[in-house]
Structure 1
Amino acid sequence: MSDSARRPRLVFTDVDETLITCKSLFDFLDYYAAGRYGAEGARRAARVREDLRAKTTAGLPREEANRAYYRAWRGEPVAAVEEWARRWFTERSAAEGFYVRRVAEELRAHRADGARIALVSGSFRPLLAPLAEAVGAEHVLCARPERCGRVYTGALLGAPVIGAEKRRLVRELLARYADIDPADCYGYGDDPSDLPMLDEVGHAVRVGALAHG
């Protein structure tokens, strides 16, 4: 093993269409709404997706679209969302093609070399916690939906985890590891909104469409 491989490092990875092939927020919204509420729930989820698609096409910034997405969870019980999120992950991850193979393999190699893995995503913890367990990620940097008692309010605590907020969270985590040089760290992303995060590390890996953009 080379000296550079022995040095402690963090590996930051985006999730949707970087580590996994789907858009987890929308896939889970469909899964949860149809599974919990049947046909009416499926129609409601479809309306949310179409409304957000229309607004983003009309120029709504992705950060605001992300906030609007979480409003769909207003009034939903946290415990139910967590339960259905684990079901979703169990089913989806068992299917062929759930992971972006190249990235999953590279994360395994990084872990074998002693690196710490951090998921960085605009998604939320119920979806990301089982994924973090599966890939051995020690850190989950993600959106924080507000709760009131046992239900979601539909609001977010803090900024959506997109663009500059990803950079801020990466810097914050790096600051906790005085022994780690950002130049030794890796980042994986697929979208231009991941570039602020990728700029914080010495080894940026651009996945899929971003790699060809």
Structure 2
Amino acid sequence: MTGPYDRSETVGGAAFFDVDETLITAKSMFEFLRFWLARNGHDDTRYQRYAAALRDMSALGLPREEVNRAYYQYYAGSYAADVRAAGRDWYAAYRKRPDAFVTAGISALAGHRAAGDAVVLVSGSFHFCLDPLAEDLAVDRVLCGELVVDERGFLTGEVVRPMIGRAKAEAVVRTIEELGLAAEDCCGYGDHASDLDMLRAVGRPTVVGDDPVLGQLARAHGWPVMSSVAGGREES
């Protein structure tokens, strides 16, 4: 999906970036959930209960897509405009942290942008979290969870399709086709085994951090591996 920050008219290539622990050090969905609950008058106990329930689902081996859908249920009945405004406030505070960003990921993104490549975020998170980041980093597109909003402007708690695993790869392939590019001219950056399908959809994958599954594949295929060391960004 494009946004008001879209500038992808003529590009030489494209770079697809996972977000959490690839560009930012946080898990955006969890960080924002804590912010949202506090903003609405709840103490940290409720956040801990919600987060534990999601972790328990993962520990039981439920598909990541199912856990992703369960997360969005927490916003059912919330006014979409309020969640969007909260996302902007959350990111405005988050970006000031000295450890907010993955230094190598941000540097790689800036390099692609300077080279004239289309820069695309691909994440299981959602627009209300990601759009402020996308604007800050001047990226071209955001491919992420699309939340269902009812006719009154309230979130139903549903997501059209979790942007997880294979869905990431399919979205990347569609975008490459829409931009009229060749996969071999495109780059991908991810930090987790769930990013593997996306990385295989491009010609030049790069692993961020020390995920053991991706690390093994990087060694086998000669993929570059970048550090996940944290850093801040200058105010703008």
TM-score normalised by length of structure 2: 0.83
2-structure distance, mates of 1:202, 1:171: 11
2:209 is matched with 208
2-structure distance, mates of 1:209, 1:147: 37
1:21 is matched with 25
1-structure distance, mates of 2:90, 2:103: 20
* Total equivalences in the alignment: 203
Match among 59, 70, 80 for residue 61 of structure 2:
59
1-structure distance, mates of 2:15, 2:138: 11
State the Cα distance separating 1:140 from its structure 2 match.
Answer: 0.3
| SS class of match (2:101) | coil
What residue ranges of structure 2 are gaps of 5+ in the alignment?
A: 1-10, 217-236
2-structure distance, mates of 1:177, 1:29: 34
Deviations 1:85-136 (A, max 9, x none): 1111001101111110001011101111111100000000011101111111
2-structure distance, mates of 1:56, 1:37: 28
| SS class of match (1:168) | helix
Match among 157, 178, 182 for residue 154 of structure 1:
157
State the Cα distance separating 1:26 from its structure 2 match.
Answer: 0.4
2:96 is matched with 94
State the Cα distance separating 1:45 from its structure 2 match.
Answer: 2.2
State the Cα distance separating 1:53 from its structure 2 match.
Answer: 0.8
After TM superposition, the structure 1 = structure 2 runs for residues 107-126 of structure 1, keeping only pairs within 5 Å, are 107-126=109-128
| SS class of match (2:75) | coil
Deviations 1:142-177 (A, max 9, x none): 0011111221111111x2101100011001111112
What residue ranges of structure 1 are gaps of 5+ in the alignment?
A: 1-6
1:4 is matched with none
State the AA in 1 paired with 2:192: D
2-structure distance, mates of 1:154, 1:102: 35
2:146 is matched with 144
1:190 is matched with 191
State the AA in 1 paired with 2:94: R
State the AA in 2 paired with 1:118: V
1:46 is matched with 48
2-structure distance, mates of 1:197, 1:169: 9
2-structure distance, mates of 1:50, 1:209: 25
Match among 133, 142, 145 for residue 131 of structure 1:
133
2:74 is matched with 72
1:106 is matched with 108
Structure with the largest fraction of helix: 1
Structure 1 runs of 4+ off > 2 angstroms?
42-45, 209-213
2-structure distance, mates of 1:58, 1:50: 12
2-structure distance, mates of 1:212, 1:168: 23
1-structure distance, mates of 2:206, 2:82: 36
TM-score normalised by length of structure 1: 0.92
| SS class of match (1:38) | coil
State the AA in 2 paired with 1:153: T
**Percent of pairs identical after alignment?**
38
